[in-house]
Structure 1
Amino acid sequence: FDSDPSLEKYEAGSEILILRMLEVGRIDTIVGSDANADYQIRKNNMQDAIIKAPFRSDVHNDIHMALSRKSSLIAQQDRIVKIMRDLHKEGFIQKIHELYWPDVIPVDLPQLDEFPVTPPISSE
């Protein structure tokens, strides 16, 4: 895709901008992540104007949860990580996936407890 010279490509500063260009016919198609595109399409009531193709890339993009060092929640980081791991182990994350993406087969991911908790980046 990136190296195909026969394709005209445009960059946009945000996912919603590129979706609006698609909605009004300024571009013919987009390539985007399911999670972001699905959210923006639903949030902006574009379901009638935009139809997703059943394309799935072989490239997997991890989705991360982050807390600002200035957040009042930073003191509860360990508790949040435990809750996320518990939700994963209980199958809740899978149920949410099935609810929002019933036609998409999820990739097999490592168990959440195998994911490292990245320490805050030093401000020094």
Structure 2
Amino acid sequence: MTDLELLHLITAPTRYQLLTLLLEYHYCVKALAAKLGISEPAVSQQLQVLKDCGLVTGERLDYQMHYRVDRTRLEQAVRAVAPLLSACQVPQSRLENCACEFAGTCSRRKAGKKA
């Protein structure tokens, strides 16, 4: 799995919320389900996706499995995609001067003419 695919996985709302909680503290499925207001099977399914891509690990404490984020893996994925994010910053002048094949119907161009 590429880092970009990994980032795509973690941007799903439920998985993002799970990661946010697990970055604060380690939780069991029951606690995560209660905090998110979703069923335990739904939490388990989402955790399995995160475990499969190496973002979450589990540790048995008594009768329950407690989960935590592998921060190293998460940071690795974010660092790998950071150059893409900085390359995505388009200067405002380029946004205002649409030069695409649909320039005649471009909403940016229309908005610029009204101003």
- The TM-score normalised by the length of structure 2 is 0.26
**Which has more strand, going by share of residues?**
2
**Larger RCO of the pair (alpha carbons < 8 Å, separation 6+):** 2
**Which has more helix, going by share of residues?**
2
Based on CA coordinates, which of the two structures has the bigger radius of gyration?
2
